[in-house]
Structure 1
Amino acid sequence: MPPATIPPLTESSRSVLRVVASSGPITRPRLGAMLNLSKPTMTAVMNELGALGLVAPIGSQQGAMGRSATVYALGPEAGYVLGIDVGVAQVRAVAQGLDGTPLATAELKIAKQQRATTEEVAEIVDEAARTAILAVGKRSKNLRSIAVAVPRIVSRNRLGLSRRKGPEAVLQRLRQSVEAPILLENNVNCAAFGELRDGAAQGREIFLFLQIGVRIGLGIVIGGKLFRGFNGAAGEAGRLPFPWSAGHVPEREGLEHHLGSDALMERCIAGWPATAGEPPATARELFDRAHAGEKEALLWVNRHGADIGRMVAGCIGFFDPGLVVLGGGVGQNPLMLDEVRHVARDLTWATEIAVSSLGVNGTVLGATRLAADYALADILGEAPDATLVLSAGPAPDEGPEAAFG
């Protein structure tokens, strides 16, 4: 059953609920002081929100003058949300309260030697969601929304227009098994939103999140909100022309191929001197050997750091973001940070460059935060910020295809 519809709230009640959802447990006097609400107004607000089950007392706190004050938190009817990260090799699901309280996690592998079909990934997504929902159990009964991060461009303008299956097709089973609205968002955008809410970019109005892994992507935050572009494709940094010089003609996604970890290892293995022993087989091994102080490995890591620094300099020139956060399997490695900063500083103006503080969980945590913001906006009767929201029900059957080909 879907959660009960919340009747329109008074402006004061909306303000209080918004603060409780963002700050977590808080005393009634503190709420009144923050929002400049009188005691009678606070009484009316708490009665309204309490009757709806949206807030509830959870204890008391001793004040400076010896008086105790009631502490309020989100109530049982506020519900919870799910964030799901659909990767190439695994699916992660995280359940949280609207205030970020962790409730459950689930992680399932996509056990395929080759790329799984859309239907196979859809089954794993549904299983991960159901596993997380079962783990939440009786702690919260209202699933308010689900946000799913996918490694594809997500655009309401392109929904249903492509002959190929869109990213929404991986949700075909989930849409039949839950009654909550499902948000679909690009994975790099989710990671950027995670950094904004809980990571290295908290409180920033403008910043860039640059993901460097097997592929590259850019999450853009302007005015404290994700900037998605007309087609939902803003941040497809791998489409920047590369190589670009008098003697070269740029190739499609040439920069992504050059900076991706697969191309890095191809160059590394091809250029590894015989006197340095066996070359590393993977990017992880390369960075592990560099971390151990191996000279040749450090040389290749610094070369890659310089390449990333050049790209960062270009992004700074476009956006003047004040902060660039590096993430992804390769980008978040701190071994490259000094070289990235050095090269970017030489090519453009001084800009803060940091490594993601959320690591591999950044995408799913960002998706969960997006779902919570959507759910809260729905309760408050406000317009939510979402790229694409899918209702319950089956998706069109378009035949089997690799999920993220």
Structure 2
Amino acid sequence: MPASPSTARVINDRLALRLLQQRGPLTAGQLKQLTGLSRPTVADLVERLSAAGLITVVGESDQQRRGPNARLYGIAADRAQLAALDVRTDGVTVTVADLLGRELARAGAPIGTDTATGPAVEQAVALVEQAVRRGRAERLHTLTVGAPGLIDPATGELRDSTGLPVWHRRLVTVLQRRLPGTRVVVENETNLAALAEQRDGAARGRDTFVLLWLGGGTGAAVILDGTLRRGASGGAGEIGFLPVPGTPGLPSATDCEGGFHRLASAPAVVDLAAAHGIAGHGPGVPQARGAEGAADLVRRAARLAAGTATAVADGTAPGGLQEQAADTERAARFLDALADRIALGVASVAAVLDPGCVVLGGEIGQAGGDALAARVEQRVARLSPLRTEVRAGVLGGAAVLRGALLTARDSAQEDLVTPPGAVPDSPSGQGR
């Protein structure tokens, strides 16, 4: 069935806005060429978007001709503001930006595990309000919250998940009450990281891949044929519960410690590094067991294993060739052991989904770089007949905040171009 005129206009407007986001200011002629639309259709959409305050004339092209066709149109960055909130078990980070994605303010704060629910929620909400004020976001259209755990695909709400603080679930309700004019969207953190890696990172140009999150915990995001797949209950990608060899027991419905999480989460990586003689900075310094601590160990091991002068130059390898050779060998063995573990998860994903590409995301995936990714790919090739390329994520832990901001921008623009009374499409990768 052909689209109605109003639906066609919305589709054309969104296409034009997407091109302006990706390529920067364009003339009407360039929009015509890139969209394949007729000249009158482009003229109409330029007039509509200008009247709605979504685009504005930002200059003229460097071509010789003058007049309306030479005007450069760009996104009206101040038409609305956006916010992204990365919620972790031990703290929050928020950023406020304009419609072009330019950062207006950023703030972050730890929230102790012993903090009561009420004070924890108040601390997180106050941080968001502070960032909004500092960014002078008078028209905050959309706030996207990236959180660990299950997001109900029907309601878009964060479900009760064992092991997560109670304040996570209360936070969204309080944000909606304290920001009444703002759309609050909740999404799983790993799904947001996958969106960011697809738009700006290691998965650019791929419409089918899996992102394996390796950070404080483990998770996976599944994107098939350009669509994020959540599963019937929103639990697609809960790879931490995957039963794997090498753990003392099996996972349960309430505990993933017997699953893949036991092998590849940050505390597990720190323990594995210690077992291979990979120590933290300085003698007697306790090794941090969070994502950043584990990532630091993996990063330095990857440099040492590469056998480059970098490790010596930046002080990560002690002096003396013999001692350096021993450190290099220990680092290589550690990365080999870590790759053995990660390959179990990647091979399982490949056997079920055959995505062709798996991105090692999160702080640990980024820290391992090509050295870790290549080792995992070699092992998966021995475990599975399905060819699977393994890439290192390039955005690390920052991918969650970046993905949340991209999701907020998409949501705001789709809403702003939808005519009053029309039912907008549900933004890809979002709950409400």
Query: What is aligned with 1:180?
Result: 182
Query: What is aligned with 2:374?
Result: 338
Please give the alpha-carbon distance, in whole angstroms, between the structure 2 residues aligned to 1:236 and 1:198: 24
Q: What amino acid is the match of 2:96?
A: A
Query: What is aligned with 2:140?
Result: 143
Please give the alpha-carbon distance, in whole angstroms, between the structure 2 residues aligned to 1:74 and 1:228: 32
Question: Which of 358, 370, 384 lines up with 2:426 in the alignment?
Answer: 384
Q: What amino acid is the match of 2:32?
A: G
Unaligned stretches of 5+ residues in structure 1: 1-6, 390-405
Residue 55 to residue 89, structure 1, CA distance change in 2 (3 Å)? same
Residue 388 to residue 119, structure 1, CA distance change in 2 (3 Å)? farther
C-alpha contact 2:78 2:98 (8 A) present in aligned 1: no
Percent identity at matched positions?
Answer: 25
How far did 1:267 drift?
Answer: 4.3
Please give the alpha-carbon distance, in whole angstroms, between the structure 2 residues aligned to 1:166 and 1:120: 9
**TM alignment of 1:7-22, pairs within 5 A:** 10-11=9-10, 12-22=12-22
C-alpha contact 1:269 1:280 (8 A) present in aligned 2: no
Please give the alpha-carbon distance, in whole angstroms, between the structure 2 residues aligned to 1:321 and 1:196: 14
Q: Does residue 1:354 correspond to 2:396, yes or no?
A: no
C-alpha contact 1:54 1:74 (8 A) present in aligned 2: yes
Query: What is aligned with 1:399?
Result: none
Q: Does residue 1:29 correspond to 2:29, yes or no?
A: yes
C-alpha contact 1:93 1:107 (8 A) present in aligned 2: yes
Query: What is aligned with 2:191?
Result: 189
C-alpha contact 2:120 2:167 (8 A) present in aligned 1: no
Q: What amino acid is the match of 2:106?
A: A
Q: Which has the higher contact order (CA 8 A, sep 6+)?
A: 1
C-alpha contact 1:190 1:366 (8 A) present in aligned 2: yes
Q: Does residue 1:287 correspond to 2:298, yes or no?
A: yes
How far did 1:82 drift?
Answer: 1.2
Query: What is aligned with 1:398?
Result: none
Please give the alpha-carbon distance, in whole angstroms, between the structure 2 residues aligned to 1:170 and 1:70: 45
C-alpha contact 1:92 1:105 (8 A) present in aligned 2: no
C-alpha contact 1:154 1:167 (8 A) present in aligned 2: no
Q: 1:150-201 deviations in whole A, cap 9, x for unaligned?
A: 1111115585986995843122432222121101111111111111222111
Q: Does residue 1:108 correspond to 2:108, yes or no?
A: yes
Q: What secondary structure sits across from 1:25 in the alignment?
A: coil
Unaligned stretches of 5+ residues in structure 2: 1-5, 289-293, 304-310, 312-323, 419-423
Q: TM-score, normalised by structure 1?
A: 0.81
C-alpha contact 1:286 1:297 (8 A) present in aligned 2: no
Residue 362 to residue 46, structure 1, CA distance change in 2 (3 Å)? same
Query: What is aligned with 1:301?
Result: 335
Residue 353 to residue 280, structure 1, CA distance change in 2 (3 Å)? farther
**TM alignment of 1:81-230, pairs within 5 A:** 81-98=82-99, 100-112=100-112, 114-137=113-136, 141-156=138-153, 165=166, 167-178=168-179, 179-230=181-232
Please give the alpha-carbon distance, in whole angstroms, between the structure 1 residues aligned to 2:426 and 2:14: 15
Q: What secondary structure sits across from 2:231 in the alignment?
A: coil
C-alpha contact 1:28 1:70 (8 A) present in aligned 2: yes
C-alpha contact 1:160 1:166 (8 A) present in aligned 2: no
**TM alignment of 1:41-56, pairs within 5 A:** 41-56=41-56
Query: What is aligned with 1:318?
Result: 352
Please give the alpha-carbon distance, in whole angstroms, between the structure 2 residues aligned to 1:174 and 1:136: 17
Please give the alpha-carbon distance, in whole angstroms, between the structure 1 residues aligned to 2:402 and 2:295: 23
C-alpha contact 1:378 1:384 (8 A) present in aligned 2: no
Q: Does residue 1:259 correspond to 2:296, yes or no?
A: no
Please give the alpha-carbon distance, in whole angstroms, between the structure 1 residues aligned to 2:168 and 2:217: 17
How large is the RMSD of aligned CA atoms in angstroms? 3.2
Point out the more displaced range, 351-360 or 287-296: 287-296
Residue 377 to residue 115, structure 1, CA distance change in 2 (3 Å)? farther
C-alpha contact 1:27 1:72 (8 A) present in aligned 2: yes
Point out the more displaced range, 128-137 or 300-309: 128-137
Q: 1:294-317 deviations in whole A, cap 9, x for unaligned?
A: 232332222112211232122111
Residue 107 to residue 23, structure 1, CA distance change in 2 (3 Å)? same
C-alpha contact 2:149 2:161 (8 A) present in aligned 1: no
How far did 1:77 drift?
Answer: 6.6
Count, aligned residues: 374
